[in-house]
Amino acid sequence: MADFTPRVFSGIQPSGGLTLGNYLGAMKRFVQMQDAGTHETVYCMVDLHAITAELAAPDKLRSRTRELCAAFIASGIDPEKSILFNQSQVPEHAQLGWIFNCVARMGWMQRMTQWKDKAGKNAQNASLGLFAYPALMAADILIYHATHVPVGEDQKQHLELTRDIAAKFNHDYGVDFFPITEPVIEGVATRVMSLRDGSKKMSKSDPSDMSRINMTDTADDIAKKIRKAKTDPEPLPEALDGLTERPEARNLVNIYAALAEIPAQSVMDQFAGQQFGTFKPALVDLAVDKLGPIGSEMSRLMQDQAEIDRILARGAERAREIAAPVLEQTFEIIGMVR
For residue 287, state whether it binds ligand TRP (rule: CB under 6 A).
Answer: no
**Residue of this chain nearest to ligand TRP (CB atom):** 11
- The residue among 156 and 200 lying less far from ligand TRP, judged by its C-beta, is 156
Give CA–CA dist 272/14, Å, rounded. 40
Least distance from C-beta 114 to ligand TRP, angstroms?
A: 8
The residue (of 30 and 276) whose beta carbon lies closer to ligand TRP is 30
Q: Judge whether 185 and 156 are in contact, CB under 8 Å.
A: yes
Among candidate residues 81, 168, 204, 230, the one labeled active-site is: 204
Decide whether 8 or 301 has the Cβ nearer to ligand TRP: 8
In DSSP terms, which residues pair with 77 in a beta bridge?
none
Q: Do the beta carbons of residue 146 and residue 179 sit within 8 Å?
A: yes
Cβ atoms of residues 323 and 92 within 8 Å: yes
d(CA 198, CA 213): 14
Q: Residue from 7, 28, 29, 49 that binds ligand TRP (CB under 6 A)?
A: 49
Using rule CB under 6 A, residue 181 touches ligand TRP: no
Where do the H-state alpha helices sit in the chain?
20-22, 28-36, 47-50, 58-75, 92-103, 106-110, 113-119, 128-142, 156-173, 219-228, 247-260, 264-271, 276-302, 305-334
Where does this chain touch ligand TRP (CB under 6 A) — which range of 17-25, 118-126, 134-142, 328-336?
A: 134-142
Residues 4-43 that bind ligand TRP (CB under 6 A): 9-11, 13
Question: Is 141 among the residues that bind ligand TRP (CB under 6 A)?
Answer: yes
Residues in the interface with ligand TRP (CB under 6 A) total 12
Site membership for ligand TRP, residue 179 (CB under 6 A): no
Q: Is 168 considered catalytic here?
A: no
Of 47, 67, 140, 248, the residue at the interface with ligand TRP (CB under 6 A) is 140
CB of residue 321 to ligand TRP, shortest distance in Å: 19
DSSP 271-309: HTT--HHHHHHHHHHHHHHHHHHHHHHHHHHHT-HHHHH
Tell me if residue 224 is catalytic.
no
- Give ∠ CA 294-298-304 in degrees, rounded to 5: 150
Q: Residue 149, interface with ligand TRP (CB under 6 A)?
A: yes
What span, in angstroms and rounded, lies between the C-alpha atoms of 2 and 257? 39
Binding of ligand TRP by 155 (CB under 6 A): yes
Binder of ligand TRP out of 24, 77, 151, 249 (CB under 6 A):
151
A 10 A CB-CB count for 162 gives 28
Whether residue 334 contacts residue 173, with contact meaning beta carbons closer than 8 Å, is answered with: yes
The least distance separating ligand TRP from the CB of residue 106, rounded to whole angstroms, comes to: 20
The one-character DSSP state at 183 is E
CA–CA separation, 222 vs 284, rounded Å?
A: 7
CB 40 within 8 A of CB 6: yes
Per-residue interface string for the shown chain with ligand TRP, residues 192-221, x marking contact by CB under 6 A: ------------------------------
201 is catalytic: yes
137 touching ligand TRP, by CB under 6 A: yes
CB of residue 214 vs ligand TRP: minimum separation in angstroms?
Answer: 18
Kindly state whether residue 86 participates in binding ligand TRP, applying the rule CB under 6 A: no
Residues tagged active-site: 118, 201, 204
Give the residues lining the site for ligand TRP (CB under 6 A): 9-11, 13, 46, 49, 137, 140-141, 149, 151, 155
